[in-house]
Structure 1
Amino acid sequence: MGIIFSMILLVFMGSKHLWEMRFWCMMVFSFVSLKYLSVDIWGIYFYYLYIDMVSAVLILLSFWITGLMLLASYYSVKFNGGGKTLFSLVVFLLCFIIILFFMMDNLLLFYLFFEVSLLPTLMLILGWGYQPERLQAGMYMMLYTVFASLPLLLGILLISEMNYSYMMSMFKYSSFIFDMNLLWLLVMLFAFLVKLPMYSIHLWLPKAHVEAPIAGSMILAGVLLKLGGYGIIRFLYVFSFENVCFDGLVMLICMWGGVMTAMICVGQSDIKSLIAYSSVGHMGMVIGGFISKFTCGWEGGILMMFSHGLCSSGLFCLGNLVYEKLNTRSLFMCGGMLNVNSSMSLFWFLFCVSNMGAPPFINLVSEIMLFISLYMYSWGLIVIILIMVFMGGLYNLILYVVVQNGSSMSFYNAMFGGNSSEYLLVLLHLFPLLMFIFNVGYLSKVFMF
C-alpha cells in the first residue's frame, strides 16, 4: 500500500524536476517490488488487492518499463517536443492503472482497470504520434478492444449473480462448479485474446505500434499485451476451464498464427512493423502454453511475457534511435550501420539473438518450456514448432544483417555516435535478460493447487 499511496502523491505533485522524480521513483519501486517475488503460495491480501507470483512478476515489469519509457522519451519529448509535463503525467497514470489491474481481486474493478488502461495509451498515440494515420490506428485499437470487452462485462455480471460475489478468491475456493461450454469461453476469454492479441484478431497491433511514439510502443509491447495474458491465466485458474473440449481450435489458430506472422516478418521493410508482428507470434506461443494446461506451459508463458516485454521494448528503442538520426524506419535505407556506430551494432546483435530465443538469455528457457508443453499436448505440433524456430531465427538475422551490413548511405551524419543516455537505456533493457538466467525459478514459479 505504501507504493500505491506514493504513486498517488506523485500524480498530484508539482515540481520543476517532476520528470526526473517520476523516473527515479519508477526505478526505486521496481527494486522494492522484487520482494513480492518471494511471497507465499497463497499470496498477499489487502482488502481488494491481491498479489501472488503471477502478478508480482508483471508488477516488476510494469515499473521497470515505465521508468525506461521516461528515459527513452527524454530527448524526443522533453527537449524537442511539447507538453513534457502532460506526457510524464499520462505515462505515470498509465503505470498506476496497470499496477492496480495486476493487484485487483474484485472482478468489476478488474474489468474497469482493464478498460481504462486504453485511455492513456490512446492519448500517447494521438498526442505524440508521428504521422496523420495515428487517428486511424487509435480508432482500430479502441474498436477492437472495447467491442471484445463488452461480452466480458456481461459474463462477469452473470457469474457474480450466480455466486453472489465479485471476488475472484471466492470463486477459486468455493465448491460452486460452472459448466464452461463454448459460449462461456468466448464470452470470458475473447477480450483477453484480442488484447494479447491472437492471430486473426491482431490487426490493431501493427497499426498502433507504427503510429505510436517510442513510449507508446514500449508500453504496448512491454506491458499492455501482458494484460491479456494475465487475464487468461487468472480466469483459467479461477473459473476452471479445464473441461473445455474444443481448446484445440484456439491452439491451432495460435500455432498457425505463429508461422504466418514469422513469414510476414521475413517480408517486412518497416522496422517497427517487423518487431510488432514478431510480438504476435510470441504471444501466440504464450496462449498455446496456457491452453495446454501443463504447469511447464504456464510457467514458460509467464517467463515469456517477462522476457518478451524487455526484449521487444529494447528492439523498439533501438529502432527509435535509428529513426531519430535518419528520419526513416525503412530497412532499405538503414544499411551499413556497423561502419557508422559499431558499439550500438553489438546491442542490435544481442537483442536479435534474444528475440529468436538463443542463449544466454531467459527467452531460451521460456521457449523450451513452452515447446515442451506444446509437444506434451500433441506430438503433431512438433512440425509447427520446428518451422517457428527456423523462421524466428531467419527474420531476426535478416533484421540484423540488413541494418548493420552493406554500404553506408551518403546522407548519414558523420557525427553519428550515441550519447550516454542511449547506451544506458539499452543496457537497462539487456541487464535483466542476462541476470535472471542465473535464477530463472525466481521469476517463473507458479503453484497450481
Structure 2
Amino acid sequence: YGIIRISPMLNPISMKLYYPFILLAMWGIIMTSSICLRQTDLKSLIAYSSVSHMGLVIAAALIQTPWSLAGSMTLMIAHGLTSSVLFCLANTNYERMHSRTMLLARGLQLILPLMTTWWLLANLMNMALPPTINLAGELLIIVSMFNWSTTTIIMTGAGTLLTALYSLHVFLTTQRNKLSTNTSNIHPSQTREHLLMMLHLLPMLLLLMKPGLIMGPFT
C-alpha cells in the first residue's frame, strides 16, 4: 500500500529505476513458491505463500497502470483474508495434534470432516479459482503485466502453477493421507471455529457482488 501511495510522487524520473525491483519481485514469486513445495512446517508454508503473493502485488504496484493498481489492491485484501483463514486452520490442527509438521498431522478428514471442507475452500481461494475475488485480482495483475511486457507471462504463469501445486500438496497431505499414530483423544471441532472460518470466507464471497469496493479509484 505504501508503494501505491508513494510511487506517483516519484514519477516520471523513477520508472527506469523500478525495472530491477519488478524483476526481483517476479523472481521472488517463483523462488518462494518453490520453497513452499519443500516445506514440512505448515505455518512456514503459509507464510512463504503470502510472500509469494505479495511479490505479485509489488510488481503490479510498480508498473502503475490502472488495472495493475486495481489488481494489487484486490489481491492484497483477498489474500489478507485467505492467509488469515489458512493460519486459523493450521492452528486448529496444532491444538489437536501438537505438531506443525504436515506428515505428523495428516489424515484429519477421517476425524474432522467439516474442517476438511474449510481446508478445501481456503486452498481453492489461495489458488485463485473462480469465482473468488482472488481470481479477479490475479487476472488484473497478470493481464496488466502482460501488456507491460509479454515475457512476464512466463514468470506469472510459473508462479500460478507452483501456487496450485503447493496448495494441493497442503490439502492432500494434511487431510487425505493415512491417519497418524499420535491421534488419540482428539476433540471434535467447535462451533466458534466454524464461525471464525465463516467470518473469513463470507466477506470474500460478498465482495464478488461489488468488487469495486476494494479496487480503489483505479477502475
> 5 Å matches for 1:14-33?
none
Structure 2 CA distance, aligned partners of 1:366 and 1:385?
A: 13
User: Does the residue aligned with 2:39 lie in a helix, a strand or coil?
Assistant: coil
Equivalent residue number for residue 312 of structure 1: 83
User: Does the residue aligned with 1:260 lie in a helix, a strand or coil?
Assistant: helix
Residue 13 of structure 2 is aligned to residue 243 of structure 1: yes
> 5 Å matches for 1:29-428?
230-237=1-8, 239-244=9-14, 245-428=16-199
Which residue identity lines up with residue 297 of structure 1 in the other structure?
S
Q: CA deviation at 1:395?
A: 0.3
Which residue identity lines up with residue 242 of structure 1 in the other structure?
P
Question: Taking structure 1 as the reference length, what is the TM-score of the superposition?
Answer: 0.47
Q: CA deviation at 1:363?
A: 0.4
Conservation of the 8 A alpha-carbon contact between 2:96 and 2:186:
no
Residue 204 of structure 2 is aligned to residue 433 of structure 1: yes
Structure 2 CA distance, aligned partners of 1:321 and 1:366?
A: 28
Q: CA deviation at 1:413?
A: 3.4
Q: CA deviation at 1:243?
A: 3.0
Conservation of the 8 A alpha-carbon contact between 1:304 and 1:367:
yes
Conservation of the 8 A alpha-carbon contact between 1:255 and 1:288:
yes
Aligned residues: 218
RCO comparison, higher one (Cα < 8 Å, 6+)? 2
Which residue identity lines up with residue 370 of structure 1 in the other structure?
I
Which residue identity lines up with residue 345 of structure 1 in the other structure?
T
Which residue identity lines up with residue 366 of structure 1 in the other structure?
G
Conservation of the 8 A alpha-carbon contact between 1:340 and 1:416:
no
The Cα offsets for residues 234-273 of structure 1, whole Å up to 9 and x where unpaired, read as: 1113x13333213110110000000000000001000010
The Cα offsets for residues 321-343 of structure 1, whole Å up to 9 and x where unpaired, read as: 11011110001101111111100
Percent identical among aligned pairs is 33
The Cα offsets for residues 111-147 of structure 1, whole Å up to 9 and x where unpaired, read as: xxxxxxxxxxxxxxxxxxxxxxxxxxxxxxxxxxxxx
The Cα offsets for residues 146-198 of structure 1, whole Å up to 9 and x where unpaired, read as: xxxxxxxxxxxxxxxxxxxxxxxxxxxxxxxxxxxxxxxxxxxxxxxxxxxxx
Compare CA radii of gyration and give the structure with the larger one.
1
Q: CA deviation at 1:415?
A: 4.5
When residues 281 and 242 of structure 1 are mapped into structure 2, their CA distance, relative to the original with a 3 A threshold, is farther
Which residue identity lines up with residue 235 of structure 1 in the other structure?
I
Q: CA deviation at 1:427?
A: 0.7
When residues 240 and 246 of structure 1 are mapped into structure 2, their CA distance, relative to the original with a 3 A threshold, is closer
Conservation of the 8 A alpha-carbon contact between 2:128 and 2:138:
yes
Structure 1 CA distance, aligned partners of 2:150 and 2:130?
A: 25
Structure 2 CA distance, aligned partners of 1:413 and 1:444?
A: 47
User: Does the residue aligned with 1:283 lie in a helix, a strand or coil?
Assistant: helix
The CA RMSD over aligned residues, in Å, is 1.3
Structure 2 CA distance, aligned partners of 1:326 and 1:242?
A: 54
Question: Taking structure 2 as the reference length, what is the TM-score of the superposition?
Answer: 0.96
User: Does the residue aligned with 2:184 lie in a helix, a strand or coil?
Assistant: coil
The Cα offsets for residues 68-100 of structure 1, whole Å up to 9 and x where unpaired, read as: xxxxxxxxxxxxxxxxxxxxxxxxxxxxxxxxx
Conservation of the 8 A alpha-carbon contact between 1:314 and 1:351:
yes
Conservation of the 8 A alpha-carbon contact between 1:242 and 1:293:
no
